[in-house]
Structure formats: C-alpha cells, structure tokens
Chain A
Amino acid sequence: MMSGNSSGAASAVGGDGRHDDDAALTEFLSSLMDYTPTIPDELVEHYLGRSGFNCPDLRLTRLVAVATQKFISDIASDALQHSKARVAAPIKDNKSKQPKDKRLVLTMEDLSKALREYGVNLKHPEYFADGPFTGTDPPTREE
C-alpha cells in the first residue's frame, strides 16, 4: 500500500495532464505563506528537525503547522461538543456544580471521548489528582 502510494506520487509528478490541480496546489501553497498558523514555525521546525525531516522550504513547515493545528482544533471542537452535551444533560442533584458548568472547561473526560474517535487511546486514571485543589470543588484549574 505504501509503495503504491509513493509510486502514485511519482506518476502524479510525472503526469502533466492536470494543470488545474497543479495550479490549485500552487495557489494553496502560496496562500500558506500568508496564513500564520497558531503553532509557531520555530516549534514545528524544531520537532521536524528532531524527527529527521529536513527541508528548507517554509511552505512545508507551514503545511505541517496547519495540519497540526487542524488536528488539534478538530479534537477541540469535538471535545467542545462533548462538553456542551454534558452540560445540557439533566443535572443531577448536585446543586453546587451548576454555576461552574456555565463556563466551558475542557476536561479529561471530554478530551478522552473526543480523542477516542481520532485513534488516540487516552487512559486517564481518575484517581490521579489534577492539582492540589482537585478534591475540593470550587477552583478549576485554568490555563
């Protein structure tokens, strides 16, 4: 499958009947120069260099950054949906949690639910304390 992929890439490079695709590709790559991803280029370059990727082209770095940002924001939006669903669920008899739930806070339960769909098995031991105030209710650790 993989070799097939690469051979397909080679054939696509060699193929010259798809000028529209090439134009779209060039346009997309040039649009990446104007798009500033949230993940800084330096971070991406650092970790790409550590993984053995070397390419001086800034557009490829930007492409990696955009892909990573898309990955993370997809997960985040899924987790947001989970969080909203959890808030909208009928409230149990715990009255004290009500004002806290007004704010949308990313928790490990929502995150792990969202990540499961992306193939990331997040095993979060529930008895591990997040911070010194986890057991006590009011303060939520925010970033």
Chain B
Amino acid sequence: MSDGGEEDLGSYKNPRTSASIQSSSTSCHLASTSGPDEFSRAISKAAVAQILQATGFDGSRKSAIDTLSDLTIRYILSLGKATSFYANLAGRTSANLFDLVQGLEDLNFSGAGPESCFGDSGVLTELNRFVKAEDPVPFAQFVPKFPICRVPKKNPTIDQIGEELMGKKHIPGWLPAYPAPHTYMHTPVWPERTDDPREDKVKQVKQRRKAEKSLLSLQKRIFASGVGGFEPVSSGTSSSSFDKGKRVIGENPFLTPPLPHGAKEVSEIAPPIEADAGPLRRKSVLEAFGPIIEAANATDLNAGMGTDPDGRNAIAVKRPVVHFKLGVKKKSVALPLALDDKREKLVFREDDRDEKKRRAEMILKESMDNPQDLTLM
C-alpha cells in the first residue's frame, strides 16, 4: 500500500493533486478476485455502488466499480496512515481529531494554510457542508464486525453443569463435565430382518406356477406327438381311458383303492431278473422302459399305442404306472447311458427312433420329479 498514498508536498498548494494515488485497473482486478480481504472488498464494492446510485448513475462497468472500490480502500488506508503519522509526530500513539484533520488536509483538501483554525478549516467546512447537504444513505446490509476471531469454546465444567457425582467426591468440580451418556454407553444394534414372509410366499407360488405351466406345455407337446400313452392317469379301464392325446383328469390314481389281486390283468410284467434286482436298485427307469422302447422300435408308435389296447403294446402302455413307484428316488436321465451291454443293445438299437425315446425319458423324469403336479393337472 505504500504506492497508494504518495504525498507530494511540493504540490501542496495545488488543490487537486495533493494525493496522487497510483491505481491501475489490473492490480485492482487481481486484488478483488481473491485474497484475504475478499469480504471487505465486497463490502466496499457494495458501498461504492450505493454511492454511485445516489449520485445518479444507472449502472457501471465492472472494472470502473472495481477501481472505485479499490480507491476507497486505499483512501482509508492513506488517511489512517497520515493520521497515525501525525499522532506519532506529536508523541502520541493514539490519534485524535486534529491528527485526522491534518491527514485530511494532506490528503486531498487544501487551501487552508497552517495558520487557519479548525472551525473554518477547509476540510471540516467542506465536510460539514457535505453532511448537511446530503441525506444519509445507510449501507444496505448488516455488516458484522470483522475480522471475526474465533475463540474456541470451552467445555463446561462439572460445577457449571451442576452434575451430581454420586459417590465421586474425589473429582474436583473444575474438571470438564462428563459427556452425554449416549456417547459412551454400549447400545447394541440388532440386525434387522430383511425378508418378508408374505413376499417369500408369493415368490414360491409364482415359481411353482411357472413350473406347472412348463410341465403342462411339455406334456401337451408330448401328447400331441403321440407318446401320450405314458400318462400315469391310466388307472381306469385301459380301453376307455386310452384315447390318444387325451388326459383323464377325473380321479387321482394314487388315491384309488388298490385293486384286488387278479382284478386287473397285468400280464407279462417282467421285472428284470438280474442279480441286483433288490429294492435299492438304481437305473430302474430306463430298464423298465426297455421293453417299451423296444416295442416302439418294433412297431409304429403312433399306430400301436392308442388304437390297439391288447398285446405287448397295451402292456407297455400300462407299465409305467407300476414302475413310477419303484423309481421315484431317481432323477437322472443321464445315468442310464452307462448301462451294461445288454441294455445298451436294447436301447440304442436304432438311431432314427432316438428322438421319441428321449421324449419318453424326459416326460418320465418330469413326472417322477413332481408327481403331485402331474396328478393335480
């Protein structure tokens, strides 16, 4: 700021050039955008804008108002410097009115010689005239006292809070009080249950319905292609219920009372006579279906299944009902591929019938996986 107030004593008599304050717009631009006194510069800018408005201006360029606000600050600084200079010259540290008037006279007012008195001093007279002429325009906003120096707030002591220390007489009262109990108490937090039983149920039902749907469509496809004979609902009289592609939904075959021995003619059910034909035997599905597949290979499947109920075909149609219960535990279709030679010969005799065989296996597996779905449909 030393370049701001350059008092030229030689030009003291010149009324207008006693203070030559060098100001360039570039420096004030730099100072106004950032810096520690950004706040005060903003206030100064607002004050200058108010003064300009009171003077009669409608608007201002940004650079002009920056310059003027910078000039305001420099003026105050120069005046303060001059005043303190005169105070120090008189041997005082704190300035008074006379130092200020001297500073003012140095700064921009002159015409009053050293012999002039204060009452009719040019400075004070002009200022007095100004004060009387101009209406006071107070600053538009509240300005806090700045710079704000932050004093860290102390924690209240035990005495100030008036906290009761039960049985803790050894703690002096001037010590800081205990923090709030929730800051050091142990408060357990239980994990919240995220799943909703109702939602779970809805999901389950949806999944089940989807499975049923897919099974139904699969079965429809199978029956349409003529392998409907493997349907487990064939508990009625074999001739009536065995129309092609038609499913009998009337009664649950698993709930019907068992037939007395000999009431139903189940001939030639020949369980495989291997040595391992125990109850825990695996791979029974394909084994059981060996004759069926054989029959399908031998005769035309579409012609032989539904239309002619007697003979081997009829037996092949009825057989799955019996063998469902034997093979309920087994779920894999891929296992029968590792059969021994004999059954392999039975199964894979002809390749062109493989498609139908696979379908038969598929529907069998499906029905074994969820027999209740099958019966419900």
Contact = CB atoms under 8 A, between A and B. Distances in A.
Contacts of B52: 76, 106
B72 A68 contact: yes
Contacts, number: 276
A106 B64 contact: yes
A121 B93 CA distance: 33
Contacts of B167: none
A43 B141 CA distance: 13
Interface stretch (B21-29, B235-243, B286-294, B358-366): B21-29
A14 to B, nearest CB: 11
B65 interface: yes
B58 A60 contact: no
B115 interface: yes
B324 interface: no
Given A108-B63, A108-B67, A64 B100 contact: yes
Q: DSSP majority for the A interface? A: helix
Given A108-B61, A130-B62, A22 B119 contact: yes
A56 to B, nearest CB: 8
A105 B47 CA distance: 17
A37 to B, nearest CB: 7
Interface stretch (B129-137, B150-158, B199-207, B305-313): B129-137
B275 interface: no
A84 to B, nearest CB: 9
Nearest to A56: B94
Interface string B135-167: 011110001111100000000000000000000
Interface stretch (B82-90, B336-344, B345-353): B82-90
A13 interface: yes
Given A35-B131, A38-B47, A55-B96, A46 B147 contact: yes
Given A25-B119, A140-B61, A46 B23 contact: no
B315 interface: no
Interface in A12-58: 12-13, 15, 18, 20-22, 24-25, 28-29, 31-32, 35-40, 42-44, 46-57
A63 B127 contact: yes
B76 A68 contact: yes
B40 interface: yes
Interface string B1-36: 100000001001000111111111110000000000
Interface stretch (B102-110, B218-226, B326-334): B102-110
Contacts of B139: 36, 38-40
B128 A28 contact: yes
Given A72-B51, A105-B57, A120-B71, A66 B62 contact: no
Nearest to B130: A70
Contact of A21 (B75, B120, B137): B120
Interface residues of A, number: 87
Contacts of B132: 31
A51 B143 contact: no
Interface residues of B, number: 92
Which of A24, A42, A60, A67 counts the most B-chain CB atoms under 10 A from its CB? A67
Which of B21, B79, B102, B108 counts the most A-chain CB atoms under 10 A from its CB? B79
Given A39-B44, A44-B76, A72-B71, A80 B138 contact: no
Contacts of A123: 24-25
Given A6-B90, A9-B102, A104-B56, A39 B47 contact: yes
B59 A122 contact: no
A76 B106 CA distance: 21
A107 B61 contact: yes
A2 B51 contact: no
B43 interface: yes
Contacts of B131: 28, 31-32, 35, 66
A-B interface, 6 closest residue pairs, ranked by CB to CB distance from nearest: A21-B119, A51-B80, A142-B59, A53-B80, A106-B60, A76-B55
26 contacts: A2-B102, A25-B118, A38-B47, A43-B47, A46-B40, A47-B40, A51-B78, A51-B79, A54-B84, A55-B96, A59-B97, A63-B100, A63-B127, A64-B79, A70-B130, A77-B56, A105-B60, A106-B57, A106-B68, A119-B16, A119-B19, A119-B21, A120-B71, A122-B24, A140-B59, A143-B45
